[in-house]
A and B are shown apart, each in its own frame.
Chain A
Amino acid sequence: MPARADAVAAAPGRTSARRLATRLGTVALAILLWQLLTTGGVRFWLSFDTLPPPTAVLSALLALAGTGEFHRDVLASLGRIGAGSALAGVLGTVVGVALGRSRLAEDSLGTLVAITRPIPAIALVPIAILLFPTSEQGIVAITFAAAFFPVAVSTRHAVRALPASWEDAVRTMGGSRLHVLSRVVLPGALPGIVAGLSVGIGVSWVCVISAEMISGQFGIGYRTWQSYTVVDYPAVVAGMTVIGLLGWLTSAAVERLGRRATAWLPRGGS
């Protein structure tokens, strides 16, 4: 029996090792291509000869990583993303559930949501500067606005799609409206909430970096823009790389959380 279990376990292990190799190989290949294009000074419509090569970016990155300033910038950006997404997760869920379950909420709140949703969060920067006493609060508000709409809309869809019999079953057990919310609606809509959050966090990275470039005093977006104003191109690309890595890490974290929260969905292995 143990031998069989090992044989079964080995197959997925081998698959994930192969997939990891493919991922790393693809990144390595892209970096190699970048190195060849830049050091070769290729000018073929695009001017690669002015772009810093990966080796220069790597040394800029290493120099950056040693400074306390860099750590403060990374923590500042992560903090803004964390605060904005947490607010968006809570308020987006509350509004999404209200929109999904109440006609009054749909007609009142829903109309406001429908009108404000098409406005890109980054277009709120001037308003945020006006409204909030500090630029820090303004940046968090923009990050929140970016993640709020995906969460609210996705939650509303998930709530509407819940089978009526789940709610009826809890009500015929003597469950109150609060029980229906806590035992049926919230856990049932969780896959939708997580899906909205995973889209929202991607949009909030775009917005937090842009907002930092416009009005921040620190943060990885601000630092990248500063490097550009002093014409330090390797540091600009190093900043971009850090943004990419941070965005990827936060998305992976949300996705991991999502898989755990939705293990009960009918798809996937039992």
Chain B
Amino acid sequence: MSAGAALRVEGLTVALSGRTVLHELSFSVAAGEIVTVLGPSGCGKSTLLRVLAGLQPFSSGVVRAGSAAVTGPAASRAMAFQDDALLPWRTVRRNVELPLLLQGVGRAERRARVDELLESVGMADSAHLLPKQLSGGMRQRAQIARVLVSEPSVVLLDEPFSALDVHSRRTAQDVLLGQWTRCTPTIVFVTHDVDEAVRLGQRTLVLSARPATIVLERRRPEGAGADRDERLRAHAAELTRALAAQPSPAEPAASAAAPAAPDPVPSEKS
């Protein structure tokens, strides 16, 4: 394990209502690194993120953030959610300033930091709006601003962009990468989309179906050589193959439904 690890997980096992969800996971994330986690839906990716956030108790293993064991949530490990988790009665500004408010930051400094961040995620004009007045993409950008406003050392993102259309998703990814360049927090980003994992992740972990173990760990090819695109395509292809090898929970249900489907003649009568 590297000395500069921002997050370190060893032998992590989590059981939810008697069923093992995560089995003996071990990995670490260096400070300032972006790691993406890929896995079939329902495999326990969100559970892993909740463990890292300190929201989910675990059965066995060691989870450390820096030098301290993770025993509960902390402001230094911020988390973003798939449903944007913006409080609907607070305007964008009051949502984004909430972490600062809870941490006791004074009014003038709150205002300055929220203004600066909203400007940099392109939402300065929407500060006074309620979440219901925003598009999905804007809501997720507001959430990213809220997660980053207190400059946490670790940022955990649980499929925040999965419900967005291609264009808004790309904008939101760019906003996230732009913010990362500014203050380089350690990022763990969970997704089920290989393109997103490759685009954002310097390193990608692929999880198996439940009980989840790490089946593949690959660093993204970097550098600007002539063959860069080709190496990136190969990287994405390898991740896709590893993901495709995992049974998706939707498949057994679909194949079970197929023989039970009535033949066309009686269904025409009904």
**Smallest CB separation, A152 vs chain B (Å):** 22
Is A173 within 8 A of B83, CB to CB? no
Q: Report whether B55 and A163 are in contact in the complex, using a CB–CB cutoff of 8 Å.
A: no
Q: For B73, give its contact among A172, A190, A264 (CB under 8 Å).
A: A172
Q: Which residues of B contact A179 (CB under 8 A)?
A: 102
Q: Which residue of B lies closest to A268 (CB)?
A: B132
Residue of A nearest to B56 (CB): A168
Pick from B77, B82, B88, B146: contact of A265, CB below 8 A: B88
> Judging by beta carbons under 8 Å apart, are A175 and B79 in contact?
no
Across chains A and B, the number of contacting residue pairs, with CB separation under 8 Å, is: 71
Contact A166 B87, beta carbon cutoff 8 Å: yes
Contact B99 A174 (CB under 8 A): yes
Q: Chain B's nearest CB lies how many Å from the CB of A162?
A: 10
Query: Quick one: given A168-B55, A168-B79, A172-B78, are A163 and B85 in contact (CB under 8 Å)?
Result: yes
Which of chain B's residues have a CB closer than 8 A to the CB of A266?
88, 132
B25: Cβ under 8 A from any A Cβ: no
Chain A residues lying within 8 Å of B73, measured Cβ to Cβ, are 171-172, 174
* B75-A169 in contact (CB<8A): no
What CA separation (Å) do A163 and B82 show in the bound complex? 12
Chain B residues 49-74 with CB under 8 Å of chain A are 50, 53-55, 73-74
Are B102 and A184 within 8 A (Cβ)? no
CA distance A163 to B54 in the complex (A): 18
Question: What residues of A have a CB within 8 angstroms of the CB of B88 in the complex?
Answer: 264-266
For A91, list chain B residues within 8 Å (CB). none
Determine the distance from Cα of A190 to Cα of B89 in the docked complex, in whole angstroms.
10
Determine the chain A residues whose CB is within 8 A of the CB of B214 once the complex forms. none
Q: Within the assembled complex, what's the spacing in Å between the Cα atoms of A163 and B85?
A: 8
**B140 on the A face (CB < 8 A):** no
Q: A183's contact among B74, B98, B131, by CB below 8 Å, is which?
A: B98
Neighbour of B102 across the interface among A165, A170, A264, A265, CB < 8 A: A170
A166–B87 CA distance with the chains assembled, in angstroms: 7
B2 at the interface (CB under 8 A from A): no
Q: Is the CB of A173 within 8 A of B99?
A: yes
Closest to B129 in A: A270
CA distance A170 to B90 in the complex (A): 13
Closest to B81 in A: A165
* B85: contacting residue among A168, A187, A270, CB under 8 A: A168
Contact across chains for A169 and B81 when beta carbons are under 8 A apart: yes
Closest to A168 in B: B55
Question: Is A169 touching B79 in the complex (CB atoms < 8 A)?
Answer: yes
Residues of A within 8 A of B87 (CB): 166, 169, 183-184, 187-188
The closest CB in chain A to the CB of B82 belongs to A165
Interfacial residues of chain B within 174-226, with CB under 8 A of chain A in the complex:
none
On whether the beta carbons of A174 and B85 are closer than 8 Å, the reply is no
Asked whether B30 is an interface residue with its Cβ less than 8 Å from the other chain, the reply is: no
A174 to B74, CA, bound (A): 5
Nearest residue, chain B, Cβ from A262? B89
Is B130 interfacial (CB 8 A cutoff)? yes
CB-defined contacts of A166 to chain B, threshold 8 Å = 85, 87
Q: Known A173-B75, A173-B150; judge A168-B81 contact (CB<8 A).
A: yes
Out of B79, B82, B89, name the residue touching A172 (CB < 8 Å).
B79
Does the CB pair A169–B85 fall under 8 Å?
Answer: yes
Determine the distance from Cα of A171 to Cα of B81 in the docked complex, in whole angstroms. 13
Name B's A-contacting residues (CB within 8 A).
50, 53-55, 73-79, 81-83, 85, 87-89, 98-99, 102-103, 130-133, 146, 150, 156
Residues of A within 8 A of B (CB): 163, 165-166, 168-175, 179, 183-184, 187-188, 190, 264-266, 270
> Other CB < 8 Å A-B pairs besides A168-B85, A174-B99, A187-B89, 14 of them?
A166-B87, A168-B79, A169-B146, A171-B73, A172-B53, A172-B54, A172-B55, A172-B75, A173-B102, A174-B73, A179-B102, A187-B87, A266-B88, A270-B130
